[in-house]
Amino acid sequence: MSGIDAGTPRRIGAVVLRHWYLIASSWPRFVDLCYWPIVQMILWGFIQTFLMRQSSFFAQAGGILLGAVMLWDVLFRGQIGLAIAFFEEVYSRNLGHLFATPLRIGEYIAALMLVSLARTVIGLFPATLLAIWFFGFSLYSLGIALIAFFVSLIVFGWSIGLFVAGLVLRYGLGAESFAWAFIFALAPLCGVYYPTAILPAWVQVLSAVLPASYIFNGMRAVLINHVVRVDYLLTAAGLNVVWLAAGVAGFLIFHSQARERGMLLQLGE
Amino acid sequence: MDTILKTDVSAASGVRAATPAIAVEGLVKRYGQVRAVDGISFNVARGSFTALLGGNGAGKTTTIAILLGLVRPTAGRVEILGQEFARHSKTLLARMNFQSPYADLPRRLTVRQNLTVYARLYGVANPKIQIASLARELDLDALLDRPLGELSAGQRTRAGLAKAFINRPELVLLDEPTASLDPDTADWVRGFLARYAREAGATFFIASHNMLEVERLCDSVLMMKGGLIVDSGAPKELIAKYGRTTLEDVFLDVARHGARSESAP
């Protein structure tokens, strides 16, 4: 795919810097990163408050919906953050410049992941603090498992984001809508708000290959049973290796096809 | 006759070097049934100014994109600065740069931010000094902290040129470098290119429709039509060969009637 040399960190840093300039120079972009996670958190926080008053289950498992919505945002923001960072280059017709520098494709992928990580953390951190203030729920009460949940979900998000970015590289901006469609299609399958055990048997087969299913089930195990399901975490990690390899391979194949078809100089708005 | 010419523009321009800056052999690029580049071969001598001329769809931009690694050729061999491009593309790209109307810089970033990012990508040792120096040379001082999207087309072209020289390249590929500039600025940019070539000993490979620019700047010319190089030589030689007074007339002759060698008995 590509080699690593002494210039690798500098080139990765250059791409990250380009996106940092973009975010930091525009307060509406900055606000946009935080806005939807906060709105989602508030909406689901009130739903949870209502359900806690109606149901002994929710009263005992406080934070189950808020935890779910914030972890879902890790997956969603991770995926969309990577895809949008790539789309920014397409919108600005900058791909030709980027890929005619010594930047290696593996370095570019690493940079997209770092940009996605930064966008996810910037977007979610205020929502997690406000959840404590508004609803008395701290995502950080998940403890050390939160780190494993976060890593697992964002890696899964990157896998899908890379594949979607590859689709745009190959088929143009007409494929941009897949960035939103793919991830929302997965939401019902990975049991964000309910155990995957309630899904029909054939849907459970699909659910079982998604790392996120194990993470959301694992989150409920922590909040309801106060147990960290290491088996869930390990299964999710193993599946993530496969999904990430597939996402990277998809991006590389589509990039290769884009070079073959002369798309790198043509892509743009 | 077979219109595929093996062209050595170093001979045409009288420039000699041990290895050419660009050596292309049997280059082909097919998109399905369309042969965008149809088996061209040429050498470009180090330190020379070479123009790639041809009408729209002649294959100029595809050729330049292949030389930059942005398009994978169907067949053929490309050597740049004495090394095989396919094997050493990343080390070679650090020694090259380009400007093209088909690639923009991010418009929401300022000129300085864009140049900083590309200085890092190219591994420029002292980006601040290099950016300040280019800003002086290209009259960008007052524009450095303005977003690219707020600049006029001519100002953006100058910012793009600053990016093209950010790594002090040995080989510069320019696609229509003065297309959106007024005559005064275009003339001033041509002066900058000539000065840089003299001082850095750089090689320029330029696709242009501006024949006066080519006559003024270039040692040699490659004329493309239908994916082929149909003629080549020094501008004055071509003008004499076609019995014309300007390179533009030669261009029109080739575009409408084919190269002289094609029609010769």
What pLDDT does B4 receive? 43
- Laid out side by side, the sheet with B228-233 consists of B96-99, B171-175, B203-207, B49-53, B220-225, B228-233
Counting residues of chain B whose pLDDT is more than 90, the rounded percentage is 67
What pLDDT does B7 receive? 61
Residue ranges, chain A, pLDDT below 70? 1-2, 59-62, 267-269
What pLDDT does B261 receive? 59
Nearest CB to B122 within list A15, A95, A101: A101
What pLDDT does B201 receive? 92
Q: Which residues of B touch A261 (CB under 8 A)?
A: 31
Do A21 and B117 make contact, defined as CB atoms within 8 angstroms? yes
pLDDT band at residue B6 under the 50/70/90 scheme: low
Say whether residue A99 is in contact with chain B using an 8 A CB cutoff: yes
- Laid out side by side, the sheet with B75-80 consists of B6-8, B34-44, B22-31, B75-80, B83-84
Structure tokens given for A73: 């945002």
| Gap from B237 CA to chain A (nearest CA, Å) | 34
| Gap from A34 CA to chain B (nearest CA, Å) | 21
pTM score of the predicted model: 0.90
**Which of the 8 DSSP states describes residue B182?**
-
What is the predicted ipTM? 0.88
Which of A25-34, B1-10, B138-147 is least confident? Answer: B1-10
Q: Are A131 and A66 within 8 A, CB to CB?
A: yes
Q: For B17-44, what is each residue's pLDDT tens digit?
A: 579 999 999 999 999 889 999 999 999 9
Say whether residue A138 is in contact with chain B using an 8 A CB cutoff: no
What pLDDT does A173 receive? 84
Do B123 and A97 make contact, defined as CB atoms within 8 angstroms? no
What pLDDT does B260 receive? 72
Do B106 and A94 make contact, defined as CB atoms within 8 angstroms? yes
Start-end of H helices in chain B = 9-13, 60-67, 85-93, 111-121, 127-137, 153-164, 183-200, 211-217, 235-241, 247-257, 260-263
Do A15 and B65 make contact, defined as CB atoms within 8 angstroms? no
Residue among A198, A219, A217, A226 at smallest CA distance from A66: A219
